[in-house]
């Protein structure tokens, strides 16, 4: 056992936070949102966010997509995971395929300044959050 004093709360690296993301592809387009908040405010990302206490990852995904885009979705298979670390944040993101139920016109809300279906061939030309293009290529959503 060490004699060193424990670190004070708030010092050291941030704890990992569980998060979810939605990979929604419909008619050759990917659903994306432009982030309204840090980290990477103003850049395009998959809709999603933090898993709240007591929520399953599927419940969190459905809630987050609705909050950011107004779309109702059903959670499908895990596409893959990503880890994003930076000053003040450490997210472990589970990205799932989703199916959109009903009307598919997204409307940006709370955590997004824009929400849109982007033709797959145009996705790489956007200002995407760090690592997103590589993730989408690695998991077969985009081709180079």
Is 106's pLDDT higher than 80? yes
Cα(121)–Cα(128) distance, rounded to whole angstroms? 14
Give this prediction's pTM.
Answer: 0.88
- Per-residue pLDDT at 7: 42
In the chain, where does DSSP find H-type helix?
57-69, 120-123, 132-138
Tokens 């690296």, residue located: 13
User: Closest by alpha carbon to 111, among 49, 28, 53?
Assistant: 49
Which sequence spans correspond to the domains of the chain? 17-138
Whether residue 39 is preceded by a cis peptide bond, meaning omega within 30 degrees of 0, is yes
The CATH architecture that domain 17-138 belongs to is: Alpha-Beta Complex (3.90)
| Residue 5 backbone phi and psi in degrees, to 5 | -70, 145
Comparing C-alpha atoms, which of 93, 83, 80, 96 is closest to residue 24?
96
User: pLDDT of 34-93, one tens digit each?
Assistant: 999 888 899 999 999 999 999 999 999 999 999 999 999 999 999 999 999 988 889 999
Looking at the predicted structure, is the pLDDT value of residue 20 above 60? yes
Query: What pLDDT is stored for residue 12 in this prediction?
Result: 82
């Amino acid at each position: 056992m060490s004699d060193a004093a424990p670190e004070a709360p708030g010092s050291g690296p941030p704890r990992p936070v569980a998060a979810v993301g939605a990979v929604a592809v419909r008619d050759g387009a990917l659903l994306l949102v432009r982030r309204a908040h840090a980290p990477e405010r103003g850049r395009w990302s998959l809709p999603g966010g933090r898993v709240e206490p007591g929520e399953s990852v599927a419940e969190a995904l459905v809630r987050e997509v609705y909050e950011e885009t107004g779309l109702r979705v059903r959670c499908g298979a895990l596409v893959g995971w990503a880890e994003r670390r930076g000053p003040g944040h450490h997210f472990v993101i589970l990205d799932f395929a989703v199916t959109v139920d009903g009307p598919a016109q997204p409307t940006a809300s709370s955590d997004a300044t824009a929400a849109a279906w982007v033709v797959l061939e145009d996705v790489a030309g956007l200002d995407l959050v760090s690592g997103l293009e590589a993730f989408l290529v690695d998991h077969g959503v985009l081709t180079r």
